[in-house]
Amino acid sequence: MDKQMNGDLESKLQEYRLWALTMGRYSPSTVQRAMRRIRELSRVLDIFNPSQAKIMDFFAKEIEKGVKPHTLNNQRKDLASWFRFLGIKMDLPKFKEPPLPDPWIPADEEVKRIISAAGNSGDMGSSSRNKVIVELLFFGGIRIGELISINLEDIRSTGIRIRSEKGEAERIIGLPTEVMNEIREYIEYYRYNSDPAALFTTRRGRMSYHYVRNILGRIGARAGVPRFHAHAARHRCATALLRGIFGQKPLDIRMVQIHLGHRSLRTTERYTHITQEEVAEQVRERLTQFFQFDEKVIQMHESLHAPHGAARI
């Protein structure tokens, strides 16, 4: 691609960014991913004047190279968004993906280790900030994009106002008193004033998406839970509320939907899914109880019907 064409693409991509964030209502992370992919696809496709035949040929070659259906569908989604922006109507193929594996949900002990590691991140400022971040992810069930968008004005007496990164309605998340006190302590003593509005800041301004991801990666490694990531905390929050924690009754699914900011109840229902491991364990326990009960019945029956004075085997 020559410099002129590259300049035209970058100019158009900036127009696309503004459209996608406003009219398209895509999240910032989705827009950044789509822009990267459009740049990559521009090397093999005419993304300004595409033909149906060229598009189908591209996907056919990707399949022949062994590209996975999940990646193919992501390419399709980003192209569909780009063509929608340009006003181009194009039929794009959809690819059947294998069922997703059960999501990893941190166990109680892992959650404790992660929160502890976050609160021991070196200096007092980093420790205070990181502990608040991790607790907001676990107790609030929020996404990274929502976390970094929190402003000081969003802090309430018992919770925080959350702006969804996916075009969903704003919501208030309720938080434990201890967490709210930790947030206020972080603001008063450790928060950088590099951005007058943002809750989470660095020396240079509002904290970025990748900055938070790097923090979480280091915390997970320190806690001995290297696969920890923000969405695992969201899974944990949802399942804990839906199943009940510390002896409390499960929370109504509509309340969990509002807490997580899901537009559709069907999205929340995914967290009611029972894993294969849980099914196997529950069946094993019940069958074990059945055989134990059956053995007791047999012994009782033999005892009642044994002749008086008969020797027991």
- Please identify every residue annotated as catalytic: 143, 166, 231, 234, 262, 271
* Residue for token pair 């960014």: 17
* Residue for token pair 């109840």: 265
Distance CA 237, CA 106 (A): 10
Contact call for residues 141 and 233 (beta carbons, < 8 A): yes
Distance CA 182, CA 135 (A): 10
Handedness of CA 297, 299, 300, 304 (dihedral sign): positive
- How many alpha carbons lie under 13 Å from residue 114 in its C-beta half-sphere? 27
Q: What is the β-pairing status of strands 205-206 and 201-202?
A: antiparallel
CA angle 265, 266, 270 (to 5 degrees): 115
What are the start-end ranges of the H helices in the chain? 3-22, 28-41, 52-64, 69-86, 108-118, 124-140, 144-148, 177-189, 209-223, 230-243, 253-260, 265-269, 276-305
